[in-house]
Amino acid sequence: MKKIEAIIRKSKFSAVKQALHEKGINFFSYWDVTGLGNEKHGHVYRGVSYSTSDIQRRYLSIVVNDDFEQITIAAIMEAGATGEIGDGKIFVSDVIEAYRIRTGKKGGDTLN
């Protein structure tokens, strides 16, 4: 099993969610997060321009069986891309074991 963590633009979340659902990935968690990055935002308040490096993003955490790893990554990259700085990042790590609390079942079957 793999854990796929993605940090994406909030504006692309609906498209990414739809792309994941179309590929059969129907369960994942997400959070609104603030981070620092290379993208620079400029804001104007009452006619005064100022910049900030704080970036509002959405963080997704998805655990999939190994055969869904590349499908999940491709769906996120395709739906989440704008081609500009700040599109986000994807991180992949191994999941050693998973358990379903209700049934006590363990392994890859817990993801279905």
Side chain identity, residue 99: Y
Q: What are φ and ψ of residue 20, in 5° steps?
A: -65, -45
Of 53 and 19, more confident: 19
| C-alpha–C-alpha distance, residues 79 and 16, integer Å | 5
pLDDT in tens, 30-77: 999 988 766 555 566 666 665 556 778 999 999 999 999 999 999 999
Domain regions of the chain by residue span: 2-32+59-111
- Please report the pLDDT score of residue 41 as a whole number: 58
Q: What is the pLDDT of residue 55?
A: 78
End-to-end CA distance of the chain, in Å?
Answer: 12
Among 7-11, 19-23, 32-36, 48-52, which stretch is predicted with the lowest mean pLDDT? 48-52
- Between 26 and 79, whose confidence is greater? 79
The pLDDT tens digits for 83-103 are: 988 899 999 999 999 999 999
**Domain covering 2-32+59-111, topology:** Alpha-Beta Plaits (3.30.70)
The span from the CA of 72 to the CA of 63, in Å, is 10
Residue 112 has pLDDT above 80, yes or no: no
Q: How far apart are CA 62 and CA 38, in angstroms?
A: 25
